[in-house]
Amino acid sequence: DTEVTQTPKHLVMGMTNKKSLKCEQHMGHRAMYWYKQKAKKPPELMFVYSYEKLSINESVPSRFSPECPNSSLLNLHLHALQPEDSALYLCASSPGQGAYEQYFGPGTRLTVT
Partner 1 sequence: AQKVTQAQTEISVVEKEDVTLDCVYETRDTTYYLFWYKQPPSGELVFLIRRNSFDEQNEISGRYSWNFQKSTSSFNFTITASQVVDSAVYFCALSEAGNQFYFGTGTSLTVIP
Q: Which residues are near partner 1 by CB under 8 A?
A: 2, 40-43, 45, 48, 56, 88, 90, 92, 97-107, 109
Q: How far is the CB of 29 from partner 1 (least distance, A)?
A: 13
* Choice between 18 and 41, CB closer to partner 1: 41
Q: How far is the CB of 19 from partner 1 (least distance, A)?
A: 19
Give strand ranges (E) for the chain: 4-7, 10-13, 18-25, 31-37, 44-50, 53-57, 64-70, 73-79, 87-94, 103-104, 108-112
Q: Please choose, from the candidates 30, 19, 25, the residue with its C-alpha nearest in 3D space to the C-alpha of residue 78.
A: 19
* Choice between 80 and 88, CB closer to partner 1: 88
